[in-house]
Chain A
């Protein structure tokens, strides 16, 4: 026995050495292949491109928050590039004087910059020609202070639109106002919301084809959502399309051809609800509208159904939590796709839709891409409404996939909330895989830059009572960091390959928009006030700057009267998640702020309130 030991040991040792060698070779091989793949991914011919006709925007200017109708937020200025971005310095700043969430994008028209503050929605025009950028004029619309109390998630304003010498703005209490861009004089003013019913307006209006398109907020207050088109010249309402109710209210007519059978039928906006629940059914439009001038169609998403307690509204709850395509002139619906039929988690469909032309299974398709709150990256044929793909881009337990045959999202039965028992570990949480803060797309890289969240939640239904002008929720919820313990993530998504190119984890939730430039730099801000520039191809951090407060705004880029490229961003924490600091709430209550403050109880350690515009440029 004893003599056989050395032999045995030798055998084992030789075996181990051989195994290690084999393993080394295998791993090395894979690693090499992976490295190779990482080096040369985007040299392929088939890149996604900005939709033809929708990507145009005036050179070096910024007229609408999304930059262009395709919502790419892409600036073709390339002065600032990956080589020199590290030298960016603040060129000037401007204090707005208000300390709520500054979610708006500044606009630059000619040599003037236009800013709008959160409630009370004051507009400033800054003269960019003078070295100290003085205020040319300002305008205070004096909204009704009561509206502060019914705005669900801070008193934000997401921006204005410029067209044809006029600025179009909204106020929190639901007035659309046209201003003369030169003088700041009011041209017309049209109220489109009733705050006694809980309606407010926070979205940035979109001007296109002679119409000002504006929706409403208040999906948390049992509002019956609607999109209004106002005549650009007179401010008269041209058409109004509700998100619930009979077909004639929803502007569903003979031209309505939804792709999936579940959206076909008469008066589904009534029949997919119990009783008269559709009258308080939500489906507000508070996010982004894209416009395809060639197809003459607008695309927008509707918000969550009301109340949040889904047990109170059995049925599909049409036409909430879905994407509408409409004819911009008549408002008639063309197609509809419901991302979350019978929504269980406040997973609205209001996120930005980027209009692209890209190859899908070998053929070029006209698509819209939406990073959905459900956590899926939807690629939808924007002509027909067919879902071409839907891949998860955020941590996900709530859904198992999207059935491309029926278009229906597939629920994980273990994560369906109920009354009387808390359902735990729902990912994504109520703000979704990504909330309103818009992504950017660079046609140079073919990548979509998605600033998003990594939050999960515990959720329970408690039953809702409807009292006009008060919240209509019926849930208690508690959010927290998703798997990995980080709360925000910047993902560069390749829509053609249907997977991320790179990802950056952020400790705090990402609540700011993104900007991509022709210099292959991507800008975004974080809740702790850092404004960051990363390499559009690799995600490498190139530059960062600490602003006075958390960033929830939308960066833009413009060419100043002096010929230099500037980058502008609002700093001023707020919005749903940042409201914890801007509203001075109490994070000891884990359900505060509909449960989101529980995810960021430490926010006050990173940021205080603020309200300041930062403009950066390369040193002269």
Chain B
């Protein structure tokens, strides 16, 4: 029983708030998972208890009296296991079927995994309403969302534990998963398939918000980047949109049109930096731009070696990209 206590503590943790926990139950699948897991947990605990009781009893029992009916016991045991497993199978199958029956209402997000960041595209029948962003996901609460998953290089896995289970992004295949976030809040997703050097730093933020807020966010996302205002920002703009940055990154409405790295159009409105490596703030932004290889060694952004005043200007401009 010693081992049960932490297990129960774990169960208790499900009540705690975590941005990346399985028992967060913030989505349709997440809730079903929590319930099914509880069923499995109780059943397995009962069986574990039975085994331990049997073992302790076998060790401690006094060795007198006749042969107990062990043969019958074996048959009963096999019967009990079989029936229980059949029950668990059916329960699991029912939940699985239920998860797959999520209604689909039309919001489709296309996510492409890259080493080591996420390219996110909100599709629309009207191509000009297509929204492209990176390393973040905004979802309307209560609406099933179809997520189309592709990979540009190796296998990654899409997983927002609070909301739903995993689905792999496999090169040459297009997978999809329907997720239904239910609780408004901030969550975190992390790549769940080993994808190379910086697998540990391949996360993104998930914001579940009311539909109205979501639509507002989408509309804002379609706007081009803010124009620089202060002289410092203008100097940063000049650097970012003409030099190394622009070769890889896109900032809508500017000459920075690179397509091989995360979109920076509304960078400063995101919650984190470097695919969940740093929280977003000016200090981290400066640290990241100055030396992206220090916090996330091996990522594809090179060390440019900016002079201090250039760095100031660049960070000042990037910070203004709300």
Q: Which of A456-499 contact B (CB under 8 A)?
A: 463-468
**Is chain A's interface secondary structure helix, strand, loop, or mixed overall?**
loop
A270 at the interface (CB under 8 A from B): yes
- Answer yes or no: B132 CB below 8 A from chain A CBs: yes
Contact yes or no, A274 B257, CB < 8 A: no
Contacts of A270 in B (CB 8 A): 128
Q: Which positions in A face B, CB cutoff 8 Å? A: 270-276, 280, 312-316, 419-421, 463-468
Q: Please choose the segment from B24-32, B199-207, B245-253 that sits at the chain A interface, where 4 or more of its residues have CB less than 8 A away.
A: B245-253
Known A419-B150, A420-B171, A465-B248: A273·B257 in contact at CB below 8 Å: no
Give the total number of A-B pairs whose CB atoms are below 8 A apart: 54
The residue on A at minimum CB distance from B123 is: A314
In this complex, the member of A270, A421, A466, A468 whose beta carbon has the largest number of chain B beta carbons within 10 angstroms is A466
Chain B residues within an 8 Å CB radius of A419: 150, 152
List, sorted by A's number, 22 A–B pairs whose CB atoms are closer than 8 Å: A270-B128, A271-B128, A272-B128, A273-B127, A274-B127, A275-B128, A275-B130, A275-B252, A276-B224, A280-B257, A314-B123, A314-B127, A315-B127, A419-B150, A420-B150, A420-B151, A463-B152, A463-B259, A465-B258, A465-B259, A465-B260, A466-B258
B128-A466 in contact (CB<8A)? no
Asked whether, in the complex, the Cβ of B257 is within 8 Å of the Cβ of A271, the reply is no
Q: Which of B226-264 contact A (CB under 8 A)?
A: 247-248, 252-253, 255, 257-260
Cα–Cα, bound, A270→B222 (Å) = 13
How many of chain B's residues touch chain A, expressed as a range? 20 to 34
Docked CA distance A280–B256 (Å)? 12
Smallest CB separation, A84 vs chain B (Å): 59
Docked Cα-Cα span, A271 to B130, in Å, equals 10
Q: Decide yes or no: A274 and B259 within 8 Å by CB, A314-B127, A419-B150, A420-B171 being known contacts.
A: no
Q: How far is the CA of A466 from the CA of B249 in the complex (A)?
A: 10
Given A420-B173, A463-B152, A465-B259, are A274 and B248 neighbors across the interface (CB < 8 Å)? no
B128 in contact with A274 (CB, 8 Å): yes
Q: Is B126 an interface residue (CB 8 A)?
A: yes
Q: A273-B128, A275-B130, A463-B152 are known; give 18 further A-B pairs, CB within 8 A.
A: A271-B126, A272-B127, A273-B127, A274-B130, A276-B224, A280-B257, A314-B123, A314-B130, A315-B127, A315-B128, A464-B259, A465-B248, A465-B258, A465-B259, A466-B257, A466-B258, A466-B259, A468-B257
Which B residues are in CB contact (< 8 Å) with A465?
247-248, 258-260
**Would you call B297 an interface residue if the criterion is a C-beta within 8 Å of the partner chain's C-beta atoms?**
no
Give Cα distance in the complex from A316 to B127, angstroms. 8
- B172: interface (CB < 8 Å): yes
Task: Give the chain A neighbours of B172 by CB distance below 8 A.
Answer: 420-421
- Distance in angstroms between the alpha carbons of A276 and B127 in the assembled complex: 11
Of the candidates A272, A313, A314, A464, the one having the most CB atoms from chain B within 10 angstroms of its own CB is A314
- Nearest CB on A from B148, distance (A): 12
Interface residues of B in 195-231 (CB under 8 A from A): 222, 224
A273 to B123, CA, bound (A): 12
Residues of B that sit less than 8 Å from A by CB: 123, 126-128, 130, 132, 150-152, 171-173, 222, 224, 247-248, 252-253, 255, 257-260
A-B pairs, 4 with minimum CB distance: A315-B127, A274-B130, A466-B257, A420-B172
Closest residue of chain A to B127 (Cβ to Cβ) is A315
Shortest C-beta distance, B259 to chain A (Å), equals: 5
Q: How far is the CA of A107 from the CA of B253 in the complex (A)?
A: 46
Chain B residue at smallest Cβ distance from A312: B259
In the bound assembly, the distance between CA atoms of A274 and B258 in angstroms comes to 15
A313, closest chain B residue (CB):
B127
Residue of A nearest to B126 (CB): A271
Closest chain B CB from A591 CB (angstroms): 18
User: Which residues of chain B are near A467, meaning CB under 8 Å?
Assistant: 247, 257-258
What's the nearest-Cβ distance from chain B to residue A415, in Å? 17
Partner of B132, one of A273, A275, A315: A275
Cα separation A542 to B126 with both chains bound (whole Å): 56
CA distance A464 to B250 in the complex (A): 12
What residues of chain A lie closer than 8 Å to B130, measured between beta carbons? 274-275, 314
Q: Shortest Cβ distance from B210 into chain A, in angstroms? A: 26
Q: Within the complex, which residue of B150, B222, B248, B255 is in contact with A468, where a contact is CB–CB below 8 Å?
A: B255
Complex CA distance for A273 and B152, rounded to whole angstroms: 23
In the bound assembly, the distance between CA atoms of A312 and B173 in angstroms comes to 18
Q: Please indicate the chain B residues that have their CB under 8 angstroms from the CB of A271 in the complex.
A: 126-128
Chain A residues with CB below 8 A from B248, complex form: 465
Inside 8 A of A420's CB, which chain B residues have their CB? 150-151, 171-173
Q: How far is the CA of A464 from the CA of B123 in the complex (A)?
A: 19
CB distance from A389 to the nearest CB of B (A): 30
